[in-house]
Amino acid sequence: MSKNIIVTGGAGYIGSHTVVELLAQGYNPIIVDNFCNSEKSVMDGLEEITGKQVTLFEGDCTDKAFMSQVFSETNPIGVIHFAAYKAVGESVEKPLAYYHNNVVSLLVLLEVMQEQNCKQLVFSSSCTVYGTPQKLPVTEQSPTQKAISPYGNTKQIAEDIIKDQVAANSGLSAVALRYFNPIGAHSTGLIGELPLDIPSNLVPFVTQTAAGLRNELTIFGNDYNTPDGTNIRDYIHVIDLAKAHVKTLDYLTGKSNFYDFINVGTGKGTSVLEIVNTFEKVSNQKLNYTIGTRRPGDVEQIYASVDKLKKVLNWQTELTVEGALRDAWNWQLNLNRKDIKTQGIS
Ligand code: NAD
Ligand code: WQD
């Protein structure tokens, strides 16, 4: 039986690592991407790592005719839907673009899945749906809070749309994975996070600063109510996150009219200063940083309860923050060697 899996956004950061893990577990990933936030060179990295040429359909997931054609030609058993815009700050400036891309792509996908009888969906959600949690660690029973950005709202809307489609007895079985903070890169240094603009996320900013592409990192506040005063997050190695998707596909096999959501994190909180100190240790670099003011909208601390992840998927993360930072640095060094300009450097 075909084990074709459509991976929308498969050329992106998390998608590309998931493609590697899918192939390793006997699935046949088919990438659908319009490269609005990724580079075609990712395909070369994937080929070098896996020794296989991964099928690519270049196009826009909001284009229903295109998506129908992709499904007709490949007859997939399931979909992992990564394709979305993801910059929180930009979503405040361009809400319509975010609602259009993130919501319409999901609607089109669900319509085509229904029309072509494709029943398994793994959806990229985010811990952002929890807002500022009342209690830590955050369990799946923790209440979601009204999103403070259009980006966050697209994730809440998307989860509701999927839940409603399952409730309508469409035969769909779906899991929304609520990711915490993915960091790191493939251990080969051949794929990793490739910000096309100035990174707003911590780790790419750290590696670019150490590589001399940025003057200094600003730590956004050290006056929080945490042990060292800086924010705490649950940083998960992107390879672990990729594996969680394959486990979820396995879990969905044979299910019908089923919906659930699962936190995907390590269960451990790490502060911004701990990230900086660990990075300095693994890279043997002194990082130029300064303490700045708080970034509006930042949550003081958040980390996942991973009880459900362990129970439902019978799996937990295996890699460390230290290893993730080492891999991120190795990736950054490779980018510099190849003199890749698409890092928000004009
Ligand atoms: P990314 O930008 O690296 O990858 C997304 C990919 O989707 C890109 O290759 C982009 O070109 C493609 N894409 C976007 N819109 C498209 C469209 N309409 N048609 C075709 N392709 C399209 O992002 P990522 O970090 O890999 O994130 C993947 C998913 O995970 C997103 O849905 C994001 O919201 C979610 N997520 C990411 C994080 C994070 O910190 N990276 C955290 C939580 C959730
Ligand atoms: C991490 C920590 C910053 C940059 C975002 C989205 C969230 C999810 C993951 C998609 C924070 C601090 C950062 C810098 C810093 N994405 N920081 N200086 O904010 O936890 O989450 O990405 O769903 O929705 O909001 O991640 O990497 O931006 O920040 O001090 O230059 O690093 O204040 O404490 P965040 P991040």
- 300 close to ligand 2 (CB < 6 Angstrom): no
pLDDT of residue 344: 63
Closest CA to 285 of 272, 276, 295: 276
> pLDDT class for 247, splitting at 50, 70, 90?
very high
Res 341 pLDDT > 80: no
320-336 pLDDT, tens per residue?
999 999 999 999 999 98
Q: Name the residue with the closest Cα to ligand 2, atom 24.
A: 128
**Average pLDDT for 184-207:** 96
Residues in the chain: 346
- pLDDT greater at residue 197 or residue 1: 197
- CA–CA separation, 115 vs 71, rounded Å? 10
Lowest-confidence segment of 3-12, 176-185, 334-343 by average pLDDT: 334-343
Q: Which helix (H) or strand (E) holds 250?
A: helix 238-252
- 300 close to ligand 1 (CB < 6 Angstrom): no
- CA–CA separation, 343 vs 212, rounded Å? 12
- CA–CA separation, 188 vs 74, rounded Å? 30
151 included as an active-site residue? yes
- CA–CA separation, 54 vs 158, rounded Å? 28
| CA of 88 relative to ligand 2 center, distance in Å | 9
Distances 308 to 133, 162, 243, 256, 315 between C-alpha atoms, Å: 18, 20, 16, 20, 10
Q: Name the residue with the closest Cα to ligand 2, atom 19.
A: 298
**Average pLDDT for 208-233:** 97
Residue 152 CA: which ligand 2 atom is closest? 24
| CA of 85 relative to ligand 1 center, distance in Å | 6
Res 60 pLDDT > 60: yes
pLDDT of residue 284: 96
- 202 close to ligand 2 (CB < 6 Angstrom): yes
Res 343 pLDDT > 90: no
Residue 126 CA: which ligand 2 atom is closest? 23
Q: Which of 60, 86, 343 to mutate to test the pocket of ligand 1 (most atoms within 8 A of CB)?
A: 86
Cβ atoms of residues 142 and 133 within 8 Å: yes
- 181 close to ligand 2 (CB < 6 Angstrom): yes
Which two three-digit tokens encode residue 344?
């928000």
Pick the catalytic residue: 85, 98, 130, 151?
151
| CA of 305 relative to ligand 1 center, distance in Å | 24
Beta-sheet pairing, 232-233 with 270-271: antiparallel
Residues 6+ apart with CB under 8 A from 333: 189, 211
| CA of 276 relative to ligand 1 center, distance in Å | 25
Q: How many CB atoms lie within 10 A of CB 8?
A: 26
92-144 pLDDT, tens per residue?
999 999 999 999 999 999 999 999 999 999 999 999 999 999 999 999 999 99
| CA of 106 relative to ligand 2 center, distance in Å | 25
- 201 close to ligand 2 (CB < 6 Angstrom): yes
**Average pLDDT for 226-233:** 98
